[in-house]
Amino acid sequence: MVESGLSEIPSELIHTTVKEFVEHQLNSKQYTIKCSSASQSGENNFIGIVYRVTFGKDDKTENGTTNQGSKLILKVSPQNLARREQFISRPCFLREIYMYNEVLPFFRQFEESRGVILDDNGFIEYPKCYRTVDKELDECILLEDLSVRGFSIVDRFTEDITADHVRLVMKALGKLHALSFALKDQQPAKFKELTSNLSEHFIRRNEDLMRGYFAKQAESASSVLSEEEHGPIIAKVKKLFETSAIDVAADCLDLEATGSASVIAHGDAWQNNTMFRYDQNGKPIEVSLLDWQVSRQSSPIIDIVYFVFCCTTKELRDAHYDDFLKVYHESLSTHIRKLGSDPEKLFPEKLMQEHFRKFGKFGLVLAAILLPLLTKDSGKEVDLDGIADGIKTGQVDLDTNIFMTDSSTRRFNKRLRDVVIDMARLEYI
């Protein structure tokens, strides 16, 4: 066996897990493994490190041509202890492992039990999971490499999310959320069992460092506006953040406030966690949702405002926002009916709009947090281990300035200003 690349991964357990999978796939102990970064240039993976693993029996096929090999995606947890603590790596890996091993397989079984044909209209918008390891410091997930099926990430440095991209995401989220509504309606005990392991771990209101970080980012929401032009909107923003921004976000996730309309949500639905497949004319025709590390129980609209307000331009929202919500609700309702329940009883459009009025502001808080990453310059990667070490020792502040330059600040200011204006227009703040 010739092996290349796995040597940079220090965990022997991860090595063994990958090798066992490869040997099982190839039915051979004679093979080549190659490992390379699966991240786009300049992109940071906060929670873990993502590799593309290529493997094959040998370098040549029987007729002498080069063997391209098979591929998989390997996600591994960082070894730096400060980074693991700062970016809650272990809880996030355990959450994603739980989603892949328990929740998503049960959703698939539930659809099959209700006669939903998966390849035609079931919820299949996520990669296959092959193996997982949950041992501390050795956490890893082996996933399907979607690029083999022609999926790719929208390169935010060279192109924008389009209306067609958003509609695919809305349809996928509609089907995902429909599973929760129907399951809760028909098997409430099972829904309660599945959600018992989905407590919130991203929005941590009792952590001083995160409280301060959210408060600092929230200040941007009014500072990007002009007092002369946007005085009334500034007043609304300041009133919203009279309490800490992290409390605003946490209140939007409060299950008592959500009431009976809670679902198992993706939790981290933004541009870098989606991949798309295109037709021959370049139109996106299929989406896959990645990174289930922040999956939570929440109002369904949390996923929607997260994606739409963090990942689309104001011009796109002005033209299509109502349409996006219509696409979402039609997908949700259609799938609930296919699963044997009544969408008008479980989540009618009137209740959906009520949830947007109550919880839509979550999109503003997350935009203030996420847009510095989405607007940063191409190739500007940062040393996350070094930053985490510096935060732990008090030498570095948790601050988005580490990502920003003069040019990216201008992009950030415009994008956040547009989000604030839309939040006021829609009466979410």
Cβ(331)–Cβ(174) under 8 Å? yes
pLDDT digits (tens, 9 = 90+) for 60-111: 555 544 456 799 999 999 999 989 998 899 999 999 999 999 999 999 999 9
Q: Measured over all CA atoms, what is the biggest interatomic distance in the chain, rounded to whole angstroms?
A: 74
C-alpha 148 chain-centroid distance: 21
> What region, left, alpha or beta, does residue 81 occupy, with left being phi > 0 and alpha being psi -120 to 50 degrees?
alpha
pLDDT digits (tens, 9 = 90+) for 97-146: 999 999 999 999 999 999 998 767 899 999 999 999 999 999 999 999 99
Percent of the chain past pLDDT 70, that is, above it, reads 92
Q: Which residue has the tokens 């408060």?
A: 215
- Residue 5's CB: how many other CB atoms inside 10 A? 16
- With 60 as the cut, is the pLDDT of residue 166 above it? yes
Q: What are the backbone dihedrals phi and psi of residue 261, each rounded to the nearest 5 degrees, phi first?
A: -95, 35
- Closest by CA to 103, choosing from 337, 347, 293, 253, is 293
Question: What is the distance between the alpha carbons of residues 289 and 129, in angstroms, rounded to a whole number?
Answer: 13
Q: What are the backbone dihedrals phi and psi of residue 215, each rounded to the nearest 5 degrees, phi first?
A: -65, -40
pLDDT digits (tens, 9 = 90+) for 327-362: 999 999 999 999 999 999 999 999 999 999 999 999
What's residue 401's pLDDT? 67
Domain range list for the chain: 2-78, 83-129+153-425
Question: What is the distance between the alpha carbons of residues 415 and 309, in angstroms, rounded to a whole number?
Answer: 9
What's residue 326's pLDDT? 98
The domain over range 83-129+153-425 is classified in CATH as 3.90.1200: yes
- With 70 as the cut, is the pLDDT of residue 400 above it? no
Higher pLDDT, 58 or 26: 26
What is the C-alpha R_g of the chain?
22
Cβ(227)–Cβ(257) under 8 Å? no
